[in-house]
Structure 1
Amino acid sequence: MALVFVAPAANAAPATTSTITWGACADQSLAAAGAECGTLSVPLNHSDPGGRKISLAVSRVKHKTTASKGTVVAVPDPLNGSGSGCQLSLLGARVPGGDAFDWVGFARRGVAPSSPAISCQPDYLGLNAPQHIPTSPAIEQQWLDKARGYAEACAAKNGELLDHMKSTDIAADVDLVRAALGADKVSLYAQAYGTYVAQVYSTLHPERVARMVLDDSIDPRRIWYYAANFDQNPPLQRNQDIWLKWLAEHDDVYHLGNTLDAVRQVWDEQLRRVTAQPAGGVFGQAEWINLFLYPAYTQQTWTLLGSAFSNWVHNGDAQLLIGLYGQFYLHPAAENMYGALTSLVCTDTAWPTNWNQWRADSWRTYAVAPDATWGNTWFNAPCLFWKAKPGKPVQIDGAKVDSALLVTESLSAVAPIEGSYEVRSRYPGARLLAVRDGVNFMNTLTGNACVDNQIAAYLATGELPARKPGRQADAVCAAAPAPVPPGA
């Protein structure tokens, strides 16, 4: 489908710039780092700047040097794994020389402690869900009823806010954060879905961007999120097999088999086992797939979930599985973050409303990605029934942006490297740094010196590698070593 350039508030009167009153942070990690916290009032509807206001929670860690080299605003992914997004102001401590900058984080609209915070059905992500793979019309209908109920609850509880959760709204919020900081230009540090907000912002306001780091860029051609989610399934399946192969390499620890095929056979046996009889009565097929797909996202979970898998096989420890599922999916912020992400992806653009199309595309993809596909489909199924009005994506154009550093791991599944290639092609001043054979998602500033030092040099001086011709990375780093399990 063609993408149409839309700037929703282009002809509206400019909003009166609000200020941020800084004070102490309630969050202990922010307080311990010397951060200051505040709130910023922004329009609910940026096309009506004089209308209803909402509040954004903002944090800042100021520079530690004699003079500041500028301000870096971190643009979070809704499921960013760093709390609300305010914690991203702590990123400067991970950047060599990063203390020369002011680092600003914010909880994007709809995410607590910004207010109002989206909540729809607090138990929606709970245990004892229908099985993922709809082997009967009854199972399929259970999920459709569940998704419809969630969409209706979101509309009933959140009202007008759902119409103003698009990437264009968040990009407008970023500009008001910039103005409230008194900065003519800011640098942007964005991750995953946040990279698309940064793409929108830099397209609409290139003159206000100093430098820009994009970690795992979202493909601007696929902001028809329906298609993007099917793109993720095969690489998620591939990455899960990489984890299962790693388990086989450490058979002396996990005792699940010493080949990929052997471990895969155990995996399939246990999936059938919990499908027939959920562990502890509540941890069934859906929970098994959801929990054990995490290693396809990041190596940080490999040893923890390897031990849980092995412990279930050899000891039948259902409580460990149930406890881990709670840590990943049932923590207090999970439903809020899921609601905020759903509100974004369901309204950035229109989704198909014909379930027959969803069903056909899911079964087609299931043939090559059986573990990933149906969970992804049901994760996004509320978009089939979403009540808020969809928007039209901005046509991303970085021709007027001076520079950008794109970073990705070459086997990232949620944001495949092709998305970074596409963003690079639209930003003539951009360079792409790829981590060869890396499988991690949103993995910058996690201790890979090759990556971290290049980010630091770019932010400090604008230094970038030479741009290579064609559709390829401009620089390559080696992946961090795979984890070594305790007892190996």
Structure 2
Amino acid sequence: MSTRSIRSVLAAATCAVTTAALALGLGGLAPSSATPAPSTGVNVKQAPEPPVVPIHWTRCAGGYLHDIGAQCGVLTVPLDYSDPTGRTINLAVSRVKHTSKIFKGAVFTNPGGPGGSGLTLSVLGAYVPGKVASRYDWYGMDPRGVGSSRPVLSCDPDYNTLDRKPYVPSSPAILSWWRDKTDTYAADCASGEKGSGRKLLDHVRTTDNVEDYEMLRRAIGEEQITFYGFSYGTYIAQVYATEHPDSLKAIVMDGVVDPTRVWYQANFDQDIAFQKTVRKFYAWLADHKGTYRLGSTRAMVEKRIAALRTRLTDKPIIGVGPDELDDAILYAGYYNLTWLQVGHALDVLKHDGNAHPVKRIYRGGAPKGDDNGYAMYLGTICSEAPWPSDWQTWADDTWAVHDQAPFYAWGNTWFNAPCRTWPVASTDPVDVDGSEYTGPVLLLNETYDAATPFSGALQVRQLFPTASLVEGVGGTSHAVSLYGVACTDDTVKNLLKDGSLPPRSEQDGVADKKCPPLAPPNPRQARPVIERPGLPLFR
């Protein structure tokens, strides 16, 4: 299978849960007023070590993993790590074995989310420059509750419909509709009537995911592993290094989550960041006014898109309203590689009244009949850090941010609103501490990454004394290592080769190495059809 086709398959697998900005936030807020299921989170230090069940590896059955010779298996882990010999669940895992005579160990990967399928990421080594990746075994895994792992969580498969109200609650009726919709989703997750994963809800925190990776490490018999995390996967890496510093040889974090902001306030951080990044997209559309016919200045483009939003509010086209329009534009805030497709969709909507391209983009991120990624996203973030139970707190905070960043403030709030009445009691988040970890840490972040703002990478650099930060200067994309930017990709290669990192600056609040960003596409050299980025994408 060609590199291009592998990347295409990766795209479908790892982008399946992408529709809105990642919800990150701030702990220490009032817990939910919903009746919670009792839960205290994982406390492995007071529980005996779970027994290891050997993984039976066979060639993956069908598809591109089969074509490239990857092996697949099942990792059996405790449902509840505080009861290590109790009920178990099965996690789907894959690996691509080393081919070099030199063996340097195992690389575990996670694509982010929470709720992203990572089974395909065992092919990640194919994108590392040179031959160093051939010295490693590369592992992918569908986290608990996700994809091919069992059981799988679902709350309402038909939640992502087209007949939605606008995000901005400009009337009491719209506000009531969204509150009822999001509260009902939380109730559906509690009832278990629409899915088989209700028993998972108490056990889908980041600490559970970390212990699953620790079980995988023990199952393959490695004393230490290298962890390569994208997006939310960087938070897994941070907690892993805090809980099991001796289990990690090296860490790569691309698109770095700020652990001091989990999981409420950083939604609003994102809103402000997406406003800036989407405006950079509008400026690009203006630069290519001959292709997209949306205006010759950023302000003109923004004005015409606002007119489209009003038009769809008054009269949706084939079910596409202002909220679906914003969901489609949101893709442009994640990756500049999407600008071709999103620009084309806006152009034909304005000039031809054709909303099908916008609908396809929306459906690509929120497929009807499959809420697994969304359910698992909420299952994790809602239960591992406190959320405000008072609706007025949400409303006041959102309106305040809306005044600064109206593009997606309310869309992001509604995406996370089920956490207000989530049926599982939240715990306090882990106090991430990198001081006990002594191995190399490579941090990667573009300057205007909206999903994980650059400030988060600077925060983690402070928390991990052995970390070096590479900045994609001026870039607007999220988690784009191994995308062909030599300056960035060679840094990954060097870490895997001999553990080397860019020299760490003595100055705080700066990157240790500056690289070019992922370059925006040229519409004159490419068709307006997206090949979605193949490695990490949040949801």
Deviations along 1:18-54, whole A, 9 cap, x unmatched? 2111112135121122110000110010000111111
**Is contact 2:153–2:198 with CA below 8 Å preserved after alignment?**
no
* AA of the residue aligned to 1:457: N
Q: What does residue range 51-450 of structure 1 map to in structure 2 within 5 Å? A: 51-78=86-113, 84-96=117-129, 97-157=132-192, 158-223=197-262, 225-280=263-318, 282-330=319-367, 335-402=371-438, 403-450=440-487
Q: CA deviation at 1:80?
A: 7.6
CA RMSD after TM alignment: 1.6
Quote the Cα distance in structure 2 between the aligned partners of 1:26 and 1:462. 35
**Is contact 2:93–2:119 with CA below 8 Å preserved after alignment?**
yes
Quote the Cα distance in structure 2 between the aligned partners of 1:159 and 1:331. 20
Q: CA deviation at 1:6?
A: 8.3
Deviations along 1:305-324, whole A, 9 cap, x unmatched? 10010011111112232233
- Sort the Cα spacing of 1:487 and 1:25 in 2 relative to 1 into closer, same or farther, 3 A: closer
**Is contact 2:42–2:80 with CA below 8 Å preserved after alignment?**
no
Q: Which has the higher contact order (CA 8 A, sep 6+)?
A: 2
* AA of the residue aligned to 2:516: A
**Is contact 1:195–1:214 with CA below 8 Å preserved after alignment?**
yes
**Is contact 1:75–1:198 with CA below 8 Å preserved after alignment?**
no
Between the two proteins, the alignment pairs up a number of residues equal to 482
**Is contact 1:71–1:104 with CA below 8 Å preserved after alignment?**
yes
- SS class of match (1:213): strand
Q: CA deviation at 1:410?
A: 1.0
Quote the Cα distance in structure 2 between the aligned partners of 1:481 and 1:352. 40
**Is contact 1:468–1:474 with CA below 8 Å preserved after alignment?**
yes
Deviations along 1:83-135, whole A, 9 cap, x unmatched? x2011111000012212110001000110100011111111122111110000
Quote the Cα distance in structure 1 between the aligned partners of 2:381 and 2:177. 23
Q: CA deviation at 1:179?
A: 0.5
- Sort the Cα spacing of 1:344 and 1:485 in 2 relative to 1 into closer, same or farther, 3 A: same
Query: Identity of aligned pairs, percent?
Result: 38
Gaps of 5+ in 1: none
Quote the Cα distance in structure 1 between the aligned partners of 2:345 and 2:82. 50
Moved more, 69-78 or 247-256: 69-78
Quote the Cα distance in structure 1 between the aligned partners of 2:383 and 2:56. 32
Quote the Cα distance in structure 2 between the aligned partners of 1:318 and 1:146. 25
1:40 corresponds to: 75
The alignment's TM-score, normalised by the length of structure 2, stands at 0.87
Quote the Cα distance in structure 1 between the aligned partners of 2:240 and 2:169. 40
Gaps of 5+ in 2: 1-25, 29-39, 527-539
**Is contact 1:6–1:394 with CA below 8 Å preserved after alignment?**
no
Deviations along 1:123-181, whole A, 9 cap, x unmatched? 11221111100001111111111011111111122333101010001001010010011
Q: CA deviation at 1:2?
A: 7.6
**Is contact 1:65–1:99 with CA below 8 Å preserved after alignment?**
yes
**Is contact 2:27–2:428 with CA below 8 Å preserved after alignment?**
no
Quote the Cα distance in structure 1 between the aligned partners of 2:158 and 2:393. 28
1:21 corresponds to: 56
Q: CA deviation at 1:338?
A: 0.9
Moved more, 24-33 or 117-126: 24-33
The alignment's TM-score, normalised by the length of structure 1, stands at 0.96
Quote the Cα distance in structure 2 between the aligned partners of 1:385 and 1:217. 28
Q: CA deviation at 1:79?
A: 5.9
Q: CA deviation at 1:75?
A: 2.2
